[in-house]
Amino acid sequence: MKQPLLLSILASFIILFPLFPQDANQKLKDIFLDAEYFFLNEDYQEALYSFNVLYKRGYADDAKINYRIGQCYLNISGEKGKSIPYLEKAVLNINKNYVEGSFKETAAPIDAYFFLGNAYRVNNQIDKAIASYDKYKTLIDSNNTMGFKLADNEISACKLALVMMKSPQDVKEINLGRPVNTSARDFFPVVSGDESVLLYNSAQKFYNAVFFSKKVNNRWSSPVNITSEIQSDGNQYCSSLSFYGTELYLRVEDNFDADLMVAKYENGIWTKSKSLGKNINTKFWEGNACVSKDGKTLFFSSNKPGGFGALDIYKSLRQPNGDWGIPVNLGNVINSEFNDDAPFITEDGKRLYFVSQGHQTMGGYDIFYSELDNIGKWMEPVNLGYPINTTDDELFFCPVKNGAVAYVGKYSKTGYGYEDIVRMQLVPEELIAAKPSKEEPKNQDKNTKQNEPSTDLAVNKLPSNFEKNLIETDSTTKAKERIVIRCIFFDFNSSALTIKAKKELDYLFIIMKNTPELKLEFSGNTDALGSDEYNLSLSAQRANNAKTYLINKGVQAERISTKGVGKKNYIAVNNNPDGSDNPEGRVFNRRVDFRIPEAINKSIIIEEVKVPEKLQIRNGESNP
């Protein structure tokens, strides 16, 4: 009986065998199509699983599969280093006529070099990143203007990263821990102005939930899943929270666009989220929104036509009937030719934080802020520097206490999961409560917000023959006019460039443009308030911001070196003889000095600051 049964099985196997290769190939193709679907929907974990199935079933040398696996790892927190070997393998077989989504395709596209550059960059292999971006530029079509811009943008970012990582900011980070953070990805945290209410997203198995927690006795309560309360299908993401913690702004996504919504906290529950209205939501992508402390002004991002780039930031005023009015673009000082997103306005209404892909970053998206000048115009954005920004993407930054504190989602090797909620303290506690405006001198320039020395620090006016003299001056000819460079000053506890400082730097740019042999050393200084560590960091950021401003105008980075000396290089008193504070003297100490380290054959001099006699430090006197 056993033998006939065996023969029957063998016969069946022989009959069916020709079908197996075809069926197996179809099954692998189906796995590939599933993987592509997950990838295009940004479900990188599921996509990675399917691509890895193909990799292990005979496609380990397929450049297309290696390319996709590398891209997946690049989008998973804590796994980005794993992308490098796959992308290195992918670029060994490049097809300029790559067919997207084709199972038969065995090569990788030219873009693999760009993503390999990104992989090197986020893993701080800067030299390799620059080489990969350069290779990408040699392969793309000469008419691909955007491709060249993107590559050049990343190359500039790599160079800036090397500079910024040498002068890290003094930032204190506290992981919120349990019960807020879990083994899942916890992200997009938003908090009330007094830090007593917290909402955030958490990646559950089949959806992204919205959780709500309150601070009780200085501890966060067990988070409550409010996804059903706001009636989200798992596709709503926290964008911001009103100052008093009663309005939650959200982004709802589908496969084609995103709209902005608001849910309200009433009678102990969150209401169903509602659209912000037709003036805000369009058929295009509305990314993130925040509202001013008084609830009257909305800032949001959109890629609707008519902007300066991809996502632009707009503002809208609340109308008497409660609806939001016609939006106004914030202009090309804030908005770049790439994405500018996730706006947050501080409670005093004077500073706007946002993330940008187009301003001078350390790579990908960085966090910036811009301040309003005295006539209501936004000033040049300032990069928050390292380690707040890194060579990876920083996509979300929720500031409170006028930017002294912020909440972010961040991966850490010592964390709880793929991403944790972290509280960043950017300003020491003793300075958060400081109110310098009441103690600063009143003799400030009417055209600026800063309190500068009362001595004549007006911007140098260029003589009519200024450029001619610079160009014609050589080793045998002295310039007919002296070119004077003056130091720049800063507001209390700020590294932002004031209007007056920018004018001085604009003047300095002209000098450096016409004097290519000129190199400068920038030294940042602070007054005596605050700890040594904090002031050292603040002084370095002041010098770096001045350098970045000139780099953005076209000065080569290698022509400027920077250092922070903290609060040790006083040129004026910080305290009165009786030990009380002297805010008028401290103004002179908040500055960036310039020095010419190498002699040049031109009459360019650094002017010393003229400190009034009553504020001068006497010989042998120590005045901390």
DSSP string, 366-410: EEEEEEB-TTSPBPPPEE--TTTS-SS-----EEEGGGTEEEEEE
* Tens-place pLDDT, residues 346-397: 999 999 999 999 998 999 999 999 988 878 889 888 899 899 999 999 999 9
Question: Could you give phi then psi for residue 374, rounded to 5 degrees?
Answer: -75, -10
Question: Could you give phi then psi for residue 443, rounded to 5 degrees?
Answer: -90, 50
User: Is 98 found in the same domain as 207?
Assistant: no
State residue 225's pLDDT score.
Answer: 98
State residue 599's pLDDT score.
Answer: 82
Residue 205 lies in a domain: yes
Residue 16 lies in a domain: no
All residues at 6 or more sequence positions from 319 whose CB lies less than 8 Å from its CB, including other chains: 325
Distances (CA, A) of 297 to 293, 317, 485: 9, 5, 41
The domain boundary, picked from 115, 135, 164, lies at: 164
Reply yes or no on whether the pLDDT at 453 is more than 80.
Answer: no
Residue 1 lies in a domain: no
All residues at 6 or more sequence positions from 38 whose CB lies less than 8 Å from its CB, including other chains: 44, 46, 47, 50
Q: How confident is the model at residue 553 (pLDDT cuts 50, 70, 90)?
A: confident
User: Is 272 found in the same domain as 372?
Assistant: yes
The domain boundary, picked from 142, 164, 186, lies at: 164
Spatial separation of the C-alpha atoms in residues 490 and 526, rounded to whole Å:
9
User: Is 560 found in the same domain as 532?
Assistant: yes
Per-residue tokens: 460:
């140098």
User: Is 160 found in the same domain as 43?
Assistant: yes
DSSP string across 419-487: BEEEEEE-S-HHHHT--GGGTS-S---TT-SS---SS--PPPPPPTTHHHHHHH--TT---SS-EEE--
The domain boundary, picked from 107, 133, 164, lies at: 164
Going by DSSP bridges, is the β-strand pair 219-220/591-595 parallel, antiparallel, or unpaired? Answer: unpaired
Number of H helices, E strands in the chain: 13, 28
Burial of 400 (0-12, 13-18, 19+ CB in 10 A): buried
Reply yes or no on whether the pLDDT at 471 is more than 50.
Answer: no
All residues at 6 or more sequence positions from 391 whose CB lies less than 8 Å from its CB, including other chains: 121, 122, 123, 124, 126, 157, 158, 161, 362, 363, 364
Reply yes or no on whether the pLDDT at 4 is more than 70.
Answer: no
Domain that holds residue 89: 26-164
The lowest-confidence range among 2-6, 328-332, 527-531 is 2-6
Q: Which residue has the higher pLDDT, 21 or 590?
A: 590
Query: What amino acid occupies position 382?
Result: V
User: Is 573 found in the same domain as 446?
Assistant: yes
Spatial separation of the C-alpha atoms in residues 555 and 509, rounded to whole Å:
7
The answer to whether 468 touches 350, Cβ cutoff 8 Å, is no
Residue 308 lies in a domain: yes
Calculate mean pLDDT across residues 52-59.
96
Burial of 76 (0-12, 13-18, 19+ CB in 10 A): middle
SS3 21: helix
Q: How confident is the model at residue 622 (pLDDT cuts 50, 70, 90)?
A: low
In degrees, rounded to 5, the angle at the alpha carbon of residue 106 between the alpha carbons of residues 100 and 110 is 55
Q: How confident is the model at residue 70 (pLDDT cuts 50, 70, 90)?
A: very high
Which 3-state string (H, E, C) describes 115-140? HHHHHHHHCCCHHHHHHHHHHHHHHC
User: Is 242 found in the same domain as 131?
Assistant: no
User: Is 457 found in the same domain as 364?
Assistant: no
Task: Using a pLDDT cut of 90, give the percent of the chain over it.
Answer: 65
State residue 123's pLDDT score.
Answer: 95
* Tens-place pLDDT, residues 168-187: 888 999 999 999 999 999 99
Spatial separation of the C-alpha atoms in residues 418 and 428, rounded to whole Å:
29
Q: How confident is the model at residue 21 (pLDDT cuts 50, 70, 90)?
A: low
User: Is 462 found in the same domain as 376?
Assistant: no
User: Is 293 found in the same domain as 187?
Assistant: yes
From first CA to last CA, the distance across the chain in angstroms is 103
Cis omega before residue 305 (within 30°)? Answer: no
Residue 2 lies in a domain: no
Token pair 């906290």: residue: 265
Residue 21 lies in a domain: no
The answer to whether 261 touches 234, Cβ cutoff 8 Å, is no
Per-residue tokens: 513:
């443009």
Look up residue 329 and give its DSSP letter. Answer: E
The lowest-confidence range among 39-43, 61-65, 81-85, 474-478 is 474-478
User: Is 456 found in the same domain as 605?
Assistant: yes
Number of domains in the chain: 3
Q: How confident is the model at residue 430 (pLDDT cuts 50, 70, 90)?
A: low
Q: What's the mean per-residue pLDDT of the chain?
A: 87
State residue 255's pLDDT score.
Answer: 74
Residue 20 lies in a domain: no
The answer to whether 148 touches 189, Cβ cutoff 8 Å, is no
CATH number of the domain that residue 114 is part of: 1.25.40.10
Q: Which of 531, 160, 131, 580 is nearest to 362 (CA)?
A: 160
Q: Which of 351, 324, 183 is nearest to 260 (CA)?
A: 324
**Count of CB atoms within 10 A of residue 454's CB?**
15
**Count of CB atoms within 10 A of residue 584's CB?**
21
User: Is 176 found in the same domain as 156?
Assistant: no
Distances (CA, A) of 1 to 5, 46, 542, 546, 580: 7, 48, 91, 92, 108
CATH number of the domain that residue 474 is part of: 3.30.1330.60
Q: Which of 488, 502, 471, 567 is nearest to 371 (CA)?
A: 502
CATH number of the domain that residue 356 is part of: 2.120.10.30
State residue 440's pLDDT score.
Answer: 40
Residue 336 lies in a domain: yes
Burial of 608 (0-12, 13-18, 19+ CB in 10 A): exposed
Q: How confident is the model at residue 8 (pLDDT cuts 50, 70, 90)?
A: very low
- Answering whether pTM is above 0.85, one says no
Calculate mean pLDDT across residues 45-50.
96
* Tens-place pLDDT, residues 187-234: 999 999 999 999 999 999 889 999 999 999 999 999 999 999 999 999
User: Is 509 found in the same domain as 368?
Assistant: no
Going by DSSP bridges, is the β-strand pair 258-266/247-253 parallel, antiparallel, or unpaired? Answer: antiparallel
Question: Could you give phi then psi for residue 455, rounded to 5 degrees?
Answer: -70, 165
Reply yes or no on whether the pLDDT at 448 is more than 50.
Answer: no
Calculate mean pLDDT across residues 107-131.
97
